[in-house]
Structure 1
């Protein structure tokens, strides 16, 4: 039975897509069967895995519309054990199109029923908003990973996201769990980075992943080559951070 994990935070630039791509690739390398769903109209996870966004004909948009089924939308990637359901700029329109549909929050959940058992992990890269797309992801997911940037405004907006998760638990998905808070873009030389880490660990305790993702040039270069960090530079700090996160996730779920 596959576990569906949404990677969500309504703040942009906290490392959601970087985490989605590289955690998915790391799980694949560790011989787990993984599906990454790009649920962001910017389609960065799609291009970051080397797919040409302009040639995408079937993706998350058709899945949410229920005009195609999940199996039709799955594409293989060059990374072992990793498939993707790509995104396209068309996805911007889905919020308006679904607005008067019955059970519009459950479109993704229904679409994924038929393939849930084909994978060990299904990761959903969410858009940086708390709109209908993210709501669909949280309703479909078993749990959520929240990336938090080790910077000054890190905890701002976290309360809002946790409230959204609570209301999703209450109304749409009672079993939704918080998989963990993931500290990203950590720079050990900065006092501020260390303060944020302390603050988050103090407030949230066991909810925080032990793995911390460090700032790493190779990590930010990789997507421009359409590569995940494992393919791009397996010996980099970024690669070892994400492999360590993947191992932590596997242990947690075994």
Structure 2
């Protein structure tokens, strides 16, 4: 369990050391709380659906989906991860070979197909996946003339929602039809945001897209949080960007901050979450802390 004041994953610096009796201050400039281990659930479902979304690539969406899903599963939550990116990185990161199996693409095109035929169990207990491969890139062309094309993913997930406590959708780095489908199907949005200037620039457009989806397609969608990723406390740039993110989003910025570390690509190559690859590493502990924070915030049961 992560304790208040311990280092940010992958950084040589973390929360500021407090004076005797003071509350430690975290990287976001706010008090650094310890979140309790979530209580066990008496049953499972219906799932709360969360889209991990950012139109900029390389900000940690897939890494966060894999490791948050594994962390929630470790706390006894039944989790379904949905690979909604044609690159199929989520599937590969969980060790799933997708070249000869049905994928989420087949479910989008065939409304009568049972999603349970496509769900794949992973090496992590309580964690399943709806995989994807490059075929998904053709889906926008096929769906463009469909009636209510923005709600097709919602109709697919509705069939399995009662079997899980949380469904995490790994979105592709764009604001196209697939991402709009993910937002329309979701109860909440988690925005992984790299602590780098250019990553900050596009967030306003993403927030505008979420507002449009809320106004026109999904009135109940809410922002579950902004997650600072790839943070390096040794650099002034990272610290300044994180400060600007907190100024812009306030309490929507999660207290948990994910730092840079080579352990993430190492775990991806192994096809397992970092919580399984290096469970004692600060990066693994940070994602467990993120899971506890989201439960404490009410974003996850």
TM range (shorter): over 0.9
Match of 2:104 in 1: 60
Secondary structure in structure 2 of the residue aligned to 1:106: helix
Match of 1:249 in 2: 294
Alpha-carbon distance in structure 2 between the residues aligned to 1:99 and 1:69: 22
Alignment RMSD? 0.9
Cα shift readout 1:93-131 (whole Å, capped 9, x = no counterpart): 000000101000000001111211111110000000111
- TM-score (normalizing by structure 2): 0.82
Match of 1:12 in 2: 57
Alpha-carbon distance in structure 2 between the residues aligned to 1:215 and 1:67: 43
Alpha-carbon distance in structure 2 between the residues aligned to 1:23 and 1:36: 10
Cα shift readout 1:48-95 (whole Å, capped 9, x = no counterpart): 00111223x211101211252222111100001000000011000000
Q: Which has the larger displacement, 111-120 or 67-76?
A: 67-76
Answering whether residue 83 of structure 2 is matched by residue 38 of structure 1, we say yes
- From the two aligned structures, give the one with the greater helix fraction: 1
Task: Give the alignment partner of residue 147 of structure 1, picking from 178, 192, 204.
Answer: 192
Match of 2:207 in 1: 162
Q: Map of 1:103-118 to 2, 5 A cutoff?
A: 103-118=148-163
Secondary structure in structure 2 of the residue aligned to 1:31: coil
Unaligned runs of 5+ in 1: none
Unaligned runs of 5+ in 2: 1-45
Bigger CA radius of gyration: 2
Task: Give the alignment partner of residue 253 of structure 2, picking from 189, 205, 208.
Answer: 208
Runs of 4+ in 1 over 4 A off after TM superposition: none
Number of aligned residue pairs: 253
Task: Give the alignment partner of residue 195 of structure 1, picking from 225, 229, 240.
Answer: 240
- TM-score (normalizing by structure 1): 0.97
